[in-house]
Structure 1
Amino acid sequence: MVGLGIAGMSAAIGLRRAGWTPVIVERAPERRTGGYFVGLFPEGLQAAVDLGIADHLHTRNPERRPGGNSWSVDRRGRRRPALGFLDQPGEPAAVLRGDIEAALWQSVTGVEVRLGTTPVAITEGPAEVQVLLEEAGTGARYREGFDMIVGADGMRSSVRRIVFGPDEDHLTTWNAMICAFQLEEQVPSYEASDSITIARAKRAVWVFGLADHAPTALLTYRTTDIQEQFGGSRVQRLRSVFSGMDDPVVRHVLDSLEKAPDHLFDSVHQVKMPRWSKGRVVLVGDAAWCVNLYSGMGATSSLRGGAALSAALLEHPDDLAAALGAWEVGLRPFITKHQRTARLKQQMFVPSSRRAEALRSVLLGLVRRVRGRRQATEAGGQRAWTLSGPVVHPRPMPTRRTGACLPRGRCQVFQGALLAVGEDHRAAELHDLLAAAEFVDEEAVQVGHVTDAHVQQEVVAAREDEHGHDLGHGQRLVVEPADQGPGQRADLGEDHRLHRPAQ
């Protein structure tokens, strides 16, 4: 087992439960603790149960306050209630990466762990795999035979490079950077467990509030020059990238970075491989499929990968090839789904343009208010809102790069906009945003669930000069309450659709 992270320990526990004797090697001289915010989704929580670590897992979801725990800050510095990461469908559990690793560590008691050790050569024979291992402290090398090698050593996996080929054959570059770390204390004027989002075109700051722990922060930005980002001081690099975002939240986060004992600073990629195993060598976690941070499914997929590997080996105890084949067939659809949705969710984390920033604001505002309206209706019956004018039913529209389609009858107002500006090269990013909004709340974003006058304000705000553009081509929107006639509607334009005016 190469790697002492979530994927490696999950696989080790799974293999031991299947009757194997795992040995873990880890390049780092000591086990990592702490770490940044992670959302653990239902599939990950179920995998924790399957691996027997659920009782050791400490979760940190803040208690929900009536006014909400999440805020967004607009370009004028105004704080508004918002949807946070934990508001996603599935109600993910808030944890630190170190919380998951601590739970796994308690369950690998008795497993041999060799720190400061890395594989430098792997040779498969007829009955076993020979591995040349190197000790970092002494430089000493020695060979050892194993029945199987599990590469769980991350996105830039040594095992993958040795057995499957160079990184460039498997890494896809997303032209984006991330920096994640723990804050010493919450941003002044916010509650200790508040989450905060400032999402601007090509750069964003996220603060993830937690119960019984200081928040963690994420800085992310888009760039076409990845290699340049690793030169010089990282703190100065980030101060330069986020210059102009003169907000107390941004200043606090950047100041905290200078004092942080450690941080993660890296480029964003996905790992795409036609097969995750070759003979007696198998890759798990980021080494095999890296869904990346934007997906939010890294920890969940690593836990599920280890649990599924255990089940496959138990089902095929005498046929390793059959076990690995069944494991991949069962797991790959889940991974493929979340690799695709990661591209959509990237627009929510860090919009690709001013246009995408404006549409993101509108879509998330709609989703949030629809949720609130629906909850209020269920609790005691406030009136619903509907679209004015006839309903258009465009055909499902594939999203850029992913092939995913928006269901017929969903998001008709915004789909109408896409049909109207379909020849615009920028329409692709709107496809992504629409699909992302569907993913954020599939039930909420559909015809018949448009909210009250606050939506009008949100749409207008998104079109103001502070964004440097409107939604495109003079697009306008109308909403009206279901129990009022067209004469009483709140008119933001000539038609219920976002549209392109005649030339």
Structure 2
Amino acid sequence: MKTMLISGAGIAGSALAYWLRQHGFAPTVVEHAPGPRSGGQAVDIRGAALDAVERMGLLDGARAHRTRMRGMSVLDGDGKEIHRSTETTFSSGRLDSDDIELLREDLVRILHERASSKAEFVFGDSVTALDQDEDGIRVAFEHSRPRTFDLVVGADGLHSAVRRLAFGPEEQFARHLGMHLAIFSADNFLALEDWQLWLRDGEAGYGIYPVRDNSELRITFGFAAEPLFAGQRDAEQQKKLVAGRMAALRWETPRLLKAMRNAPDFYFDAMMQIRMDRWSQGRVVLLGDAAYCASPLSGQGTSLALVGAYVLADALGRAGGDHLTAFASYEGRMRSFVELNQALATENPGGPAAEASVERAKNAIALDG
């Protein structure tokens, strides 16, 4: 039985662990965080990704955790409503769609519960070195003893350590989109009931929506700027930076900034895409954001991760142990799907992509192709 190390226990890594076990592999998942990560924004399962989730037997569970938005209001800089919709929201698209919007932490938990009996999970550790030869790949870890695997998968996100170790510095592959986002949770001090608010004034703005039966808010701050190397700052420095960029906004901004300062689950990063000529190097292959991050601006990162995990595991299963053939098949099947979905982030700068573009992109691959 071939052994595989997956770096990253998020959506891509957990889904892949499940599918690899189904194909007879022995997966081990290593994750830097002490457990499945909490926090984060609402994410979408769309098109072909719905098929992937259904094949895992998780479709009903995902639907049970979906958000229940009735609509949204778009506000001017003073908080006055200038547009409203009960048919669509910026975060999820059409409300009558079969697509599923749910909190990222809920999806991660659902996937982990399904995969944890199929794979070894090691939390609180990370990959620090890779040394591959014709017989396998020796992996060094921050805390654990070194181990040798047949293959290694980097599913460790936008700032992937596996990608850096196997392919080179992030700067070679990152394409900055001119925006930065901060995401955090707060008590529902605005008393929103299944309703989103979106405010923009100039090159900064925010979106707010209630979750957890309207007991909490998820708040997203966004602003335009050239790369600020967010990953090199700690959370307190990032909060000060965001506060400075958002301070000129009016309406409820002071209360929102106060909530941000107290948020335990604050996340901040530049909006970037990862563009690579190839996603594999010998016995190492990349998956999800590590290989082809589309950015939250596309709304399709989760679907790319879920579909990519299925396609990669399927390719490995079909190749009968020939990883070079499997990796080539994986890239061949995923490349055009990835490109269409990455294009959603740049089609309409400052706003969502057209519905027709989303429909085309989310259905641009068949799992049985």
User: What does 1:280-429 correspond to in 2, within 5 Å?
Assistant: 280-348=283-351
Alignment equivalent of 2:139, drawn from 128, 131, 144: 131
Residue by residue over 1:416-436, the C-alpha shift from the partner in whole angstroms, topping out at 9 and shown as x without a partner, is xxxxxxxxxxxxxxxxxxx74
Residues in 2 aligned to 1:24 and 1:297: alpha-carbon distance in whole angstroms = 24
Residues in 2 aligned to 1:59 and 1:29: alpha-carbon distance in whole angstroms = 24
Distance 1:241 1:24, change over 3 A: same
User: What does 1:93-242 correspond to in 2, within 5 Å?
Assistant: 93-110=100-117, 111-135=119-143, 142-185=145-188, 187-188=190-191, 191-210=192-211, 212-213=213-214, 214-224=216-226, 226-227=228-229, 230=233, 233-242=237-246
Specify the alignment match of 1:59 in structure 2: 65
TM-score (norm 1): 0.64
Distance 1:278 1:152, change over 3 A: same
Residues in 1 aligned to 2:334 and 2:229: alpha-carbon distance in whole angstroms = 33
Residues 56 and 103, structure 1, Cα contact 8 Å, conserved in 2: yes
Specify the alignment match of 1:73 in structure 2: 75
Q: Cα offset for 1:258? A: 2.2
Residues 36 and 112, structure 2, Cα contact 8 Å, conserved in 1: no
TM-score (norm 2): 0.86
**1:10 counterpart SS class:** helix
Please say which of residues 300-309 and 204-213 is displaced more in the overlay.
204-213
Q: Cα offset for 1:268? A: 1.5
Specify the alignment match of 2:18 in structure 1: 13
Residues 36 and 109, structure 2, Cα contact 8 Å, conserved in 1: no
Residues in 2 aligned to 1:233 and 1:166: alpha-carbon distance in whole angstroms = 24
Residues in 1 aligned to 2:180 and 2:57: alpha-carbon distance in whole angstroms = 35
Residues 60 and 210, structure 1, Cα contact 8 Å, conserved in 2: no
Q: Cα offset for 1:224? A: 2.1
Q: Cα offset for 1:112? A: 1.1
Residues in 2 aligned to 1:63 and 1:196: alpha-carbon distance in whole angstroms = 11
How many residue pairs get aligned? The number is 345
Query: Which of these two proteins has the greater Rg computed from alpha carbons?
Result: 1
**1:56 counterpart SS class:** helix
Residues 151 and 159, structure 1, Cα contact 8 Å, conserved in 2: yes
**1:117 counterpart SS class:** coil
Residues in 2 aligned to 1:225 and 1:332: alpha-carbon distance in whole angstroms = 27
AA aligned to 1:257 is M
Higher relative contact order (CA 8 A, sep 6+): 2
AA aligned to 1:104 is L
Residues 206 and 219, structure 1, Cα contact 8 Å, conserved in 2: yes
Instruction: Provide the aligned C-alpha RMSD in A.
Output: 2.4
Give 1 or 2: higher strand fraction.
2
AA aligned to 1:292 is S
Residues 124 and 280, structure 1, Cα contact 8 Å, conserved in 2: yes
Specify the alignment match of 2:364 in structure 1: none
Please say which of residues 323-332 and 27-36 is displaced more in the overlay.
27-36
Residues in 1 aligned to 2:212 and 2:28: alpha-carbon distance in whole angstroms = 35
Structure 2 unaligned regions, length at least 5? 1-5, 361-369
Residues in 2 aligned to 1:108 and 1:438: alpha-carbon distance in whole angstroms = 34
Specify the alignment match of 1:87 in structure 2: 93
Residues 37 and 208, structure 1, Cα contact 8 Å, conserved in 2: no
Question: Are positions 1:33 and 2:38 aligned together?
Answer: yes
Residue by residue over 1:133-175, the C-alpha shift from the partner in whole angstroms, topping out at 9 and shown as x without a partner, is 221xxxxx63211111011111111111111111111111223
Residues in 2 aligned to 1:31 and 1:121: alpha-carbon distance in whole angstroms = 23
Residues in 1 aligned to 2:246 and 2:344: alpha-carbon distance in whole angstroms = 27
Q: Cα offset for 1:254? A: 2.0
Residues in 2 aligned to 1:92 and 1:29: alpha-carbon distance in whole angstroms = 31
Residues in 2 aligned to 1:186 and 1:87: alpha-carbon distance in whole angstroms = 25
Residues in 2 aligned to 1:312 and 1:52: alpha-carbon distance in whole angstroms = 21
AA aligned to 1:115 is F
**2:272 counterpart SS class:** strand
Residues in 1 aligned to 2:267 and 2:344: alpha-carbon distance in whole angstroms = 23
Residues 205 and 249, structure 2, Cα contact 8 Å, conserved in 1: no
Residue by residue over 1:44-67, the C-alpha shift from the partner in whole angstroms, topping out at 9 and shown as x without a partner, is 222211233334324323163xxx
Residues in 2 aligned to 1:327 and 1:225: alpha-carbon distance in whole angstroms = 31
AA aligned to 1:16 is R
Identity, in percent, stands at 27
Structure 1 unaligned regions, length at least 5? 136-140, 350-434, 443-503
Residues in 1 aligned to 2:274 and 2:27: alpha-carbon distance in whole angstroms = 25
Residues in 1 aligned to 2:340 and 2:94: alpha-carbon distance in whole angstroms = 16
Distance 1:43 1:201, change over 3 A: farther
